[in-house]
Amino acid sequence: MSTAKKRRGGGDGERRVYLIGPGAALAASASPEEMGFKAYNLARMAAVGMPVPAAFVLSTAYCRDYYAAKGALPEGFRDLLRGNLRELERLSGLSFGGERRPLLVSVRSGAAVSMPGMLDTVLNVGLNDATVAGLVRMTGNPRLAWDSYRRLIQSFAEVVHGAKPDAFDAARARQVKAAGLADAGELDFIALRELATEYLDIYRELAGENFPQSPLDQLAAATEAVFRSWSGKKALEYRRIHRLRGAAGTAVCVQTMVFGNSGGTSGSGVAFTRDPATGENALYMDFLFNAQGDDVVSGRHEVGERAQISALLPEVTQQIEALRARLEAEFGDLQEFEFTVQNGQLFMLQTRSGKRTPLAALRIAVEMVEQGLLDPAAALERLAGCKLKAIRTEAIRAKDGQAPLARAIPAGVGVAVGEIALDPDTARRRAAAKKAVILVREDISTDDVAGIAGAAGILTARGGRTAHAAVVARQMGKVCLVGCRELAIDAAKRSCSIGGKLLREGQVIALDGGAGEIYTGAVDIVRARPERELAVVASWRARSPSSRTLARSRRRKA
C-alpha cells in the first residue's frame, strides 16, 4: 500500500522513525496518529507511484516526549538525525553538509489532524557559507543557491528565534528599489548574494548570535522549533476554535528538498481536486513560477491560475490533471495538494482532505456517489456535520445604477455585509460587540486566525485562493475575496481606498463571494436552495436501513 518503512529511533519503544522512499513498505502499525496525516499521506502517494521526494519522519511520540521533558530533546537525538540522514543521502546520492554535492532538506510539521498553516516549516536546511558554493557548482545556478540561502536565514530567524520579519523585509525592499525592479523575484544572483550577506548581519542582531554554520545544528534547532510550534499561539487558538482536543502533538517530516525557485520552468503550487467553495468538479489551482511553496501559501504574493502554467508547462499540467483523478480514487475525497515543479519535473509534497464550504460538501458528496467514488452510506456519514436545511446560494443583485467598486478573486461563496475593520484585533473586538465586520488587509496570514474567526468576510489586496489563511477562512464559512488590485490601505489614517473610493474604518461594505465583487451601500441579496442535491440526499436517507428501522419503530408506537 505504501512506501514508508518503520524504523526504531531513540531508546523508547514508542518512538519511531519512518522512512519514505523507493522500496520501503508501510509498517502495519503505522497510523496518521503516529506519522501525522501529512507524512502518512505522502507514504500512500509514494506507494502508488506518485513522485514524492524521499523523507524520514519522527513520530508524534517525540513531540510528546519533548513536552514531558519540559522542552528538552532526548539523549542521542543528534545521532538519530545523523543516522536517518544517511538514508536520504543513499537515496539521493547527495551529502548533508557536503561542499560539492550538498543535500538540503525541509523540516515540516505533521499533526494527526489537519491544521493548515498553524505549525511551522523550515526550508533549505543544510545551506551555509560553504554548501552554498557547492550548490552553485552542482546546479550551475547561482541565483537558486543565493535565493535559497537568504530564505533560510530569514525563516530560521523567524521560526527558531521568533524574530519579526520587518528588518529582513525592509532590506529586501531596499535591494529591489536599488535595482529598479518590481519585486525580489527579479533580483539577479549578485543582488541576492549581497542580500544574503546583509541577512546574516540582521540575523546576528536579532538572534544575538551568528547564523549556525553546522547543518546538523540547523536541523536539530529546526526540528525543536517545529515541536514548539505545537503550543504556539495560533495553533492553540485554531484548536480552541475547532474544539480539537486530545490531539497528540506533531510529527516532524525531514524531506529531501526540491526547488521551485530554479528558474522559468520551475515553480510551486497548491491545488484542490474540485472547487472547495462551490464543489464544481474542476481543478482549482494557484501556481507561482520560480518560487518556493511558502510564497504560495503565505498569502503575501500575487499568484497565477491554471491558464499560466497550462500555457508554459503543458506536460506538467497534464500530469497534474491525471494526478487529480488518481488522488480522488486513492483517498476517496476532495484533496488539497501541494506540489513543486523543478526544471519541468513534478514532485508531490502533500495531500490532505480539502477544507470546503457546506455547499461544496453537499455537491461533492452527491457527485462522488454518482461517479462511483462513494456509496450513499459513506456520503451521508460525511455530511453528518452539515446543516443541510440551512445551505443556500447567495448573490448580490445590483440595484438600478449600482455598480461594484472593484473586483477581486473569489476564495469562498456567499455574501457578507459589515463594517470595515483594518486589523484582526479590531475585527475581534467589534465582533464581540455583536457587530458584523469585514476584515480588510493587505494580506492575511494564519497569525490572524482569531480575527478571521470573528469576521463575516475577508478582503485582501494580495494573495491567492489557496493561501493557508484563505483555506482557513473558507473552512469557517467566511466570504473571502483576495488579490484585489484596486484596494489600497492607509493604516495611519484608518482608511482604505477601493476602486478609487475613500472609505473610513467602520463604514459598511458588501462582498459577493461568488462574483468577486465589492459594493458599498445597501444591497439586495438573492438566495436559493440547491434543490437537486438536497433531493438526492433525502432519497438516500429514505432508503438507508437506519431510516427504515426508525420508520417501523414510529409506526409501532403509533
Burial 71-84 (b: 16+ CB within 10 A, else e): eebbeebeebbeeb
Residues belonging to the chain = 558
What confidence score (pLDDT) does residue 301 get?
Answer: 62
Asked if 320 and 285 count as a contact pair (C-beta separation under 8 A), the reply is yes
Sequence-ordered list of residues with C-beta below 8 angstroms from that of 367, at least 6 positions apart, any chain: 279, 281
Alpha carbon distance 16, 387 (integer Å): 41
- As a whole-number percent, the residues of the chain with pLDDT over 70 amount to 91
**Nearest by Cα to 47 from 66, 31, 26:** 26
Asked if 454 and 437 count as a contact pair (C-beta separation under 8 A), the reply is yes
Measured in degrees and rounded to the nearest 5, phi and psi for residue 221 equal -70, -40
- Residue 67 cell numbers, joined: 513536552
Could you tell me which residue, 437 or 521, shows the higher pLDDT? 437
The model's confidence at residue 245, banded by pLDDT at 50, 70 and 90, is: confident
Q: What dihedral do alpha carbons 75, 79, 81, 86 form, nearest 10°?
A: -160
pLDDT tens digits along 456-509 = 999 999 877 877 677 778 878 889 999 899 999 999 999 999 999 999 999 999
Alpha carbon distance 506, 527 (integer Å): 26
Alpha carbon distance 297, 468 (integer Å): 5
- As a whole-number percent, the residues of the chain with pLDDT over 90 amount to 70
- Residue 180 cell numbers, joined: 529598479
Sequence-ordered list of residues with C-beta below 8 angstroms from that of 275, at least 6 positions apart, any chain: 281, 282, 284, 360
Count other Cβ atoms within 10 Å, centred on residue 376. 17
> DSSP assignment of 220-247, as one string?
HHHHHHHHHHTTSHHHHHHHHHTT--S-
Asked if 17 and 59 count as a contact pair (C-beta separation under 8 A), the reply is yes
Q: DSSP character for 205?
A: H
Look at strands 345-353 and 105-111 and give their pairing.
unpaired
- Residue 199 cell numbers, joined: 541577512
Average pLDDT, the chain: 89
Q: Residues 174-187: what's their mean pLDDT?
A: 92
* 554: pLDDT strictly greater than 50: no
Q: Residues 31-60: what's their mean pLDDT?
A: 92
Asked if 509 and 501 count as a contact pair (C-beta separation under 8 A), the reply is no
Q: DSSP character for 390?
A: G
**Nearest by Cα to 244 from 230, 257, 256:** 230
| CA 324 to the chain's CA centroid | 18
Residue the block writes with cell 503575501:
300
Alpha carbon distance 285, 16 (integer Å): 35
What confidence score (pLDDT) does residue 449 get?
Answer: 81
pLDDT tens digits along 300-357 = 666 666 667 888 899 999 999 999 999 999 999 999 999 999 999 999 999 999 888 8
* 208: pLDDT strictly greater than 90: yes
pLDDT tens digits along 388-437 = 999 999 999 988 888 999 999 988 889 999 999 999 999 999 999 999 99
> DSSP assignment of 52-111, as one string?
---EEEE-HHHHHHHHHTTS-PPTTHHHHHHHHHHHHHHHHS-EET-SSSEE-EEEEEEE
Asked if 513 and 479 count as a contact pair (C-beta separation under 8 A), the reply is yes
Sheet containing strand 437-441, edge to edge, reads 406-407, 517-520, 508-512, 415-421, 437-441, 457-460, 479-482, 409-410
Residue the block writes with cell 506540489:
339
| CA 96 to the chain's CA centroid | 27
**Nearest by Cα to 498 from 428, 420, 430:** 420
* 11: pLDDT strictly greater than 60: no
**Nearest by Cα to 450 from 413, 425, 469, 468:** 425
Count other Cβ atoms within 10 Å, centred on residue 13. 8
Q: Residues 273-278: what's their mean pLDDT?
A: 93
pLDDT tens digits along 100-123 = 999 999 999 988 887 877 888 999
What confidence score (pLDDT) does residue 306 get?
Answer: 66
Residue 398 to residues 185, 394, 524: CA-CA distances in angstroms?
40, 13, 7
Alpha carbon distance 150, 172 (integer Å): 10
Alpha carbon distance 33, 366 (integer Å): 29
Alpha carbon distance 383, 377 (integer Å): 10
